[in-house]
Amino acid sequence: MNIISQGKIFLSDQRGIIESERIKRYSTFNFESFNNPAKEPVGNLYALHDDMLAPAASINFYTR
C-alpha cells in the first residue's frame, strides 16, 4: 500500500524579498530578515532561494 503524505504549496508571490546593490534574493522559507510563521523549514530543507546577482558579484554557500 502506498503511503500518501500531505503536501504544501509555496506560492512565488508570497516569498520574502531581500535586495541590495549586489543581490536580489527571493526566499521561500524564513531567512535573514524575512520571517513568516507559515514559512518554517520542511524537514532538512531549510533554505530555498532564487538569487539574482549583479555583474561580478559572488556569494558563499555554507552548510549547517
Q: Smallest Cα–Cα separation from 50: which of 21, 20, 17, 22?
A: 17
Task: Write down the domain spans for the chain.
Answer: 16-53
pTM: 0.70
| Cα distances (angstroms) measured from residue 57 to each of 23, 41, 63 | 8, 27, 20
CB atoms within 10 A of CB 15: 19
d(CA 32, CA 26): 11
Instruction: Give mean pLDDT in consecutive 10-residue pieces for the chain, a chain of 64 residues.
Output: 80 91 92 86 85 91 72
